[in-house]
A = this chain, B = another copy of it.
Amino acid sequence: MARRLPTIGDVARAASVSRQTVSNVLNSPEIVRAQTRARVEAAIAELGYRPHAAARRLRTRRASTIAVRLDPFVGGISGAVLDRFLHALTERAEAKGLSVMLYTATDAADEIRQFRRLVDGAVVDAFVLAATYYGDPRTEWLIEHGQPFVTFGRPWGIADLSDPLHFWVDVDGRAGVRDAVARLRETGAQQIGFLGWPAGSGTGDERRAGWAAALRESGIGDSELVRLTVESEDGVAEARAATRKLLAQASDLDAIIAASDTLALGVLIETAGALPVVGFDNTPVAEAIGFSSIDQRVDEVAAAALELLDLVGHAEAGGPGGHRLIAPDVIMRAQGPALGLVG
């Protein structure tokens, strides 16, 4: 049955102290005499007392809740990344006494409408946005209204990545791909190609830059770089076509790095698994089929995002903008004969 929950008053009575002392035991234990504290804690345990969240929120004017948008078009194979991020975020938030609340939106304007609903209703007191773009009205609105937020993804297009008003966490795709090149070379590969997204997406450009940098370091010239890469939209069919093109212009490839697992899957199918492939995002598909991929380490991203949220309130006064760049993990998988596609 939905029994009456014990209140702080019940605990106070049971421990023969005032309500405020019970409150202190919960919120600033160090100012309560050890003996008193023990008695109160015993009473709390015995009654199974837990503070009423709404009452606390009302009084402290803090919701201790962060809002995360659940994307409608999680579509594509890489949707799983956001999923894992969300799980990590929820887990870390729980440990900090925070709750994670979801909302959805159809577009930026609708999302701002949701901001208003959540902010005006004092439902949440911070936001985590999963992707932002140049002149994003959402971040502008949040900044203008003094709402704390962190983005997963750099504020692409903003001149100053250290803008003190913009807190972000991102994965260092450049470093990840560079590492992947190194790992492939350890396995004996010499000519390593890159299948990327059309230029213009910040994320994709970074990944390609990592590959290019690694190759340049070993003395490969610019014209050669052009020969070893092609672009493709993020679809399996498109990736297969692009792979054909790439192999036509560079038949000497030993391995291919792709900007996403979707593209990697296309390569894998087109080459019938004959060429080692490294994808990006380490999605369940990469795991299921068994090809290498670069893992975003969403757990670290989530932890960093929450740390930054702690800062938002305090560091506001012109301090250095907070941001973190997380190095991803290259997961190498033996894609050899065991799981090679059938001829």
The interface of chain A, by Cβ under 8 A from chain B, is: 1-2, 5, 48-55, 57-58, 63, 65, 70-72, 74-77, 79-80, 83-84, 86-87, 90-91, 94, 99-104, 116-117, 120-123, 145-147, 235-237, 262, 265, 269-272, 284-285, 287-290, 338-339, 341-343
Residues of B within 8 A of A2 (CB): 145-147
Q: 18 A-B contacts, Cβ less than 8 Å apart? A: A2-B145, A50-B116, A50-B117, A50-B120, A50-B121, A53-B122, A54-B58, A65-B101, A72-B87, A77-B285, A94-B104, A99-B101, A99-B102, A236-B289, A236-B339, A237-B338, A265-B289, A285-B285
- Given the complex of chains A and B, what is the CA–CA distance between A53 and B120 in angstroms? 9
Residue of B with least CB distance to A125: B2
Does A272 contact B341, Cβ atoms closer than 8 Å? Answer: yes
Residues of B within 8 A of A72 (CB): 87
Shortest Cβ distance from residue A109 to the other chain B in the assembled complex, whole angstroms = 16
Residue of B with least CB distance to A144: B1
Does B103 contact A101, Cβ atoms closer than 8 Å? Answer: no
Residue from B103, B117, B287, B341 within 8 A of A341 (CB atoms): B341
Does B58 contact A74, Cβ atoms closer than 8 Å? Answer: no
- Given the complex of chains A and B, what is the CA–CA distance between A50 and B343 in angstroms? 64
Does A100 contact B101, Cβ atoms closer than 8 Å? Answer: yes
Residue of B with least CB distance to A74: B83
Does B265 contact A288, Cβ atoms closer than 8 Å? Answer: yes
Residue from B5, B101, B120 within 8 A of A5 (CB atoms): B120
Does A272 contact B342, Cβ atoms closer than 8 Å? Answer: yes
Residue of B with least CB distance to A273: B269
Shortest Cβ distance from residue A21 to the other chain B in the assembled complex, whole angstroms = 20
